[in-house]
Amino acid sequence: MVSVSVHSHRAWFSLCFTSFLLTGDYYEKELNPGEAVKIMTGAPVPASADTVIEIEKVKAEKDTIIIESPVKKGSNIIFKGEVMKKITLAVCILGASTLFASSSLVTKAKQSGLEAIPASKVELMKLIDDKKDPITKEKVELGKKLYFDPRLSKSGLISCNTCHNLGLGGADGIPAAIGHGWTANPHHLNSPTVYNSVFFKAQFWDGRSPHLADQAQGPVQAGPEMAAPAPLVEQRINSIPEYVDEFKVAYGKDVKIDFATITKTIATFEKTLVTPSKFDDFLNGKEKALTAEEKKGLTLFIDKGCTSCHTGIALGGTMQPFEVASKYKFTNVGDFKGDEKGMVKTPTLRNITETAPYFHNGQIWSLNEAVKEMGSVQLGIEISDAEAAQIVTFLKTLKGTKPAISYPQLPESSIETSKPEFN
């Protein structure tokens, strides 16, 4: 699924790569004559480029490509609003397959953008920890209590775990989240899993939060969710002596227990919800971690072009264009259309077998059906029942080992603790 975006339509040229553009990324600079950008299928063509060349039609030498045959201006460009032709994608997919033909499957997977959860705890901490606010045992334990505490909601009935149930794959198992006063999400949005969310480049379906600490503030305050204004949350936590003591242990005696500190503590706990699987063992060098059938499924997953969106450690979690090739058959359920650019956060595929129903509006319950729908909507190809089953065989390898979590005993309220409100 790799192509070359070129500033010139002339032939027999040697061009220099300036960047590698993933699907959903934008190239902000202007290409100069003699320069090219390598892009994934579905990525926006740079404004200064007028031609796309399939990778198999050029020779690559390190950071340089050689064009050996004439190229027609405007080739292989799909304008916004146009239907993406199957043949265009097929050509690009074949290009990726050819590119990786001589490589091992591990190399092929890594070159497709797939990454493993590090086997080493030291290496993992480099990815998830924040030097300015380091992860400590005390913060994690306190964050866990807050995560499970329904008193962070206006009604005293809803906790973070209500919609992101750690016993249900980190989701809630229903099409649209239900919040305060039995209110269904007004946009009919499905609750994404919290597991491995530390690896997401963006939070929420519209990507409006950059990290977990910021994300944690939204649902607590949102009217259709936990509906608790920040002052109410602060009052309840500060009125509970045991919580005050625990915050002092975690952050020091002079800690200010405000809304930001409360929610970032929840985020610290969420950072630890990492689930390594046998797929990670495979990428980390244990070739026999996957069976022959699982490897076939992984190969098909790559060759079909699924890695154009489902990449990185999370196999998702980045903002990508949606309905690239055709309309999603349940697009009219709810009014969510993405961010201001029409981009939608790609769901993680880790533990995907545990997080049905699928898509942003939770309309598809079968994983096999979801795979086929993605083929049509995003890739413009038909994935057969047999192919979908083979890909699902691979997806099952992404079910990881969950961290052991015991339900915490929550500290008791005091007479000063604000009472539940149900209106």
Catalytic residue among 28, 56, 123, 225: 225
Angle at 148 between CA 147 and CA 151, to 5 degrees: 95
- 225 tagged catalytic: yes
Nearest-angstrom CA–CA distance, 171 and 174: 8
Nearest-angstrom CA–CA distance, 322 and 342: 7
Nearest-angstrom CA–CA distance, 269 and 252: 18
Nearest-angstrom CA–CA distance, 260 and 198: 18
Helix (H, G, I), strand (E, B) or coil at 346: coil
- Residue 270 CA to its chain's centroid (Å): 15
HSE on the CB side for 185, CA within 13 Å? 21
Q: 290-300 burial string, b = 16+ CB within 10 Å, else e? A: beeebbbbbbb
What stretches of 304-384 show up as alpha helix (H) in DSSP? 367-374
Taking each helix axis as running N to C, give the angle between helix 241-251 and helix 137-148, from 0 to 180 degrees, rounded to the nearest 10: 150
Going by DSSP bridges, is the β-strand pair 14-21/35-40 parallel, antiparallel, or unpaired? parallel
Q: Give catalytic residue positions.
A: 225
